[in-house]
């Protein structure tokens, strides 16, 4: 999927697109790590552990929202419809 996105014609500069894609890959990695950490939390987790996980989730959601808001800059205004066939 990432290769197809990189190969798509972009609305912005190639450097900007590469930086955006690098941010997206870091966010994807953070999602995986957070998911693994969330699976380790059980009923005996402390309130501090749960709050830490919640804060990380909130930061990650903020990063995702930022990526989505800037997607049109690099992928064009119809970026979401262009991704329908990519899986």
User: pLDDT tens, 58-76?
Assistant: 999 999 999 888 877 777 7
The answer to whether 14 and 74 are in contact (CB under 8 A) is no
Nearest in space to 8 (alpha carbons), one of 63, 66, 87, 86? 86
Q: How many CB atoms lie within 10 A of CB 4?
A: 12
Whole-prediction pTM value?
A: 0.68
User: With helix as H, strand as E and coil as C, how does 28-50 read?
Assistant: HHHHHHHHHHHHHCCCCCCHHHH
The predicted structure's pLDDT at residue 6: 57
Indicate the domain borders of the chain: 2-82
């Amino acid at each position: 999927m990432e290769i197809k996105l990189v190969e798509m014609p972009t609305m912005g500069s190639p450097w900007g697109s590469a930086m955006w894609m690098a941010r997206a890959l870091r966010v994807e990695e953070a999602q995986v790590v957070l998911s693994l950490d969330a699976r380790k939390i059980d009923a005996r987790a402390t309130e501090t552990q749960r709050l830490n996980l919640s804060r990380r989730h909130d930061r990650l959601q903020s990063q995702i929202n930022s990526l989505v808001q800037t997607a049109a800059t690099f992928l064009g205004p119809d970026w979401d419809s262009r991704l329908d066939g990519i899986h």
